[in-house]
């Protein structure tokens, strides 16, 4: 059962290589599309990059060719509004409140629709068409059948002129 011979540690703890490559944005990718962030079950996307702020600050200084504290202060004063908006959007996005689930593209199919689509307008309670995205359930069917039967009880309005016109045609 036990042996005195050494065993390689890789036998007991094998290294499992991830099949999905991490994205260049710092977070893991979606399990279906490599360019999308992973989605949680409630629709929020996980986009926190966990990039240290010092690295972001160093990149900011390098890209804007800032050499002194005075230049850095001038840059912050001139771009304060854009920096505040960017920081707000990033922090709100990390918590899932900026990019709402309806703004995230659907990854369940290859059908591409815009975020704003006009809802289908049924012509009447007796209309049985099933537009794209129509979901049926037993509760909905009971309600609709009850409403359809109820709508058949109402007679159409007819005026005396129409009634006399119909009678004269006979």
Does 169 reside within a domain? no
Q: How confident is the model at residue 96 (pLDDT cuts 50, 70, 90)?
A: low
Does 13 reside within a domain? no
Does 15 reside within a domain? no
Does 93 reside within a domain? yes
The larger pLDDT score, comparing residue 64 to residue 10, is at 64
Does 58 reside within a domain? yes
Does 133 reside within a domain? no
Instruction: Give 102's contacts (C-beta < 8 A, 6+ positions apart).
Output: 115
**How do residues 13-68 score in pLDDT, each as one tens digit?**
555 555 545 555 455 555 566 666 666 666 555 655 566 677 878 888 999 999 99
Whole-prediction pTM: 0.33
The whole domain housing 106 covers 22-127+139-149
Could you give the number of structural domains in the chain? 1
| 3-state secondary structure (DSSP) of residue 127 | coil
| 3-state secondary structure (DSSP) of residue 130 | coil
**H or E element in which residue 151 lies:** helix 138-152
């Amino acid at each position: 059962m036990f042996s005195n011979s050494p065993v390689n540690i890789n036998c007991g703890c094998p290294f499992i290589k991830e099949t999905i490559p991490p994205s260049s944005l710092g977070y893991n990718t979606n399990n279906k599309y490599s360019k999308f962030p992973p989605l949680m079950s409630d629709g929020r996307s996980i986009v926190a990059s966990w990039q240290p702020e010092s690295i972001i600050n160093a990149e900011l200084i390098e890209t804007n060719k800032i050499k002194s504290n005075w230049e850095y202060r001038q840059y912050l004063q001139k771009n304060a509004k854009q920096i505040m908006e960017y920081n707000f959007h990033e922090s709100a996005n990390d918590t899932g409140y900026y990019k709402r689930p309806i703004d995230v593209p659907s990854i369940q199919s290859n059908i591409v629709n815009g975020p704003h689509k006009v809802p289908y307008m049924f012509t009447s309670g007796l209309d049985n068409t099933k537009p794209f995205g129509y979901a049926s359930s037993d509760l909905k069917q009971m309600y609709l059948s009850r409403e359809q039967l109820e709508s058949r009880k109402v007679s159409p309005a007819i005026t005396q002129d129409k009634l006399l016109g119909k009678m004269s045609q006979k």
